[in-house]
Amino acid sequence: MQGHLFLIGFMGAGKTAVSNALSAMTGIPVLDTDEQIRMQEGMEISDIFAQKGEGYFRNLETQLLASLQGQELKIISCGGGMPLRPQNAALMQAAGNVIWLTVSPETVFERLQNDHSRPLLANRRDPAAIAELMEARREAYEAACSCQISTEGKMPEDIAAEIAAVYC
Ligand code: S3P
C-alpha cells in the first residue's frame, strides 16, 4: 500500500465501521481523528464546538493531519468535515490515498436521528436538511478524493473488501 488510507465522507457514512473492518482484514491500525482529538483535548467533540468553536476544532484537524506525514502506515477514519479545507485535502493527498464513502441523506437520517454527539446535525433533523449540507460539501469531497465508493445497502466488510482489493 502506498501511504496512509484516508476514509472521508459525510457523518453516518460508516467510516468508523469500514475502517475497523478493513483493519481486521489487513492488520493495518486505525486512527480515528475524532477519537484522537477527543483524547488530546480531554473533551467531547460537541463540547469543543460549544466552548471553543468550530474554527478551533478545524485547526486541530489540520494539525493532526500534518502530524501524520512520515508515520507508520494507518487507516485514517476522518471526521466528516475534514476535506472542507483545501489545505487538509492537500495534506491527505500528499500522505496517501483518499477514499470517499458516499451515503444517502435518508440513510444518514435513519442512522443518526437519535444521535446527539454531532453538533452540525443538531439543527438538521430531517433528510432535506441533511441533503442540503451534503450537497454544500459535495465539491470538497470530490476534490479531495481519489475514488468514491457507495455504501448504500452494503455491509462494512463488503466495502472494506472493495477497498482492500484496490489499495492493499
Ligand atoms: C463533523 C463530523 C464529525 C465530527 C464533528 C464535525 C462534520 O465526525 O468530526 O462533529 O463536520 O461533518 P463524523 O463524520 O465521524 O461523524
81 lines ligand 1 (CB under 6 A): yes
> How many domains is the chain built from?
1
pLDDT tens per residue across span 108-132: 999 999 999 999 999 999 999 999 9
The yes-or-no verdict on residue 69 having pLDDT over 90 is no
> What letter represents residue 166's amino acid?
V
Task: Report the distance separating Cα 36 and Cα 32, nearest Å.
Answer: 6
Provide the pLDDT for residue 19.
Answer: 98
Provide the pLDDT for residue 135.
Answer: 98
- Domain extent, residue 100, equals 4-167
The atom of ligand 1 lying closest to the CA of 15 is: 15
Mean pLDDT of 83-90: 96
**H-run or E-run covering 106:** helix 105-112
79 lines ligand 1 (CB under 6 A): yes
Grid cell 433528510 in the structure block, residue:
127
Grid cell 500528499 in the structure block, residue:
94
The yes-or-no verdict on residue 37 having pLDDT over 70 is yes
Provide the pLDDT for residue 2.
Answer: 78
119 lines ligand 1 (CB under 6 A): yes
Nearest CA to ligand 1 atom 2: 80
pTM, two decimals, is: 0.97
pLDDT tens per residue across span 103-113: 999 999 999 99
Provide the pLDDT for residue 113.
Answer: 94
The atom of ligand 1 lying closest to the CA of 32 is: 15
Q: Partners of 100 in the beta sheet?
A: 8, 148
How many other CB atoms sit within 10 Å of the CB of residue 149?
19
**Mean pLDDT score of the chain:** 96
CATH number of the domain to which 160 belongs: 3.40.50.300
6: CA distance to ligand 1 center in Å? Answer: 14
Grid cell 483518499 in the structure block, residue:
98
The yes-or-no verdict on residue 51 having pLDDT over 80 is yes
Provide the pLDDT for residue 1.
Answer: 64
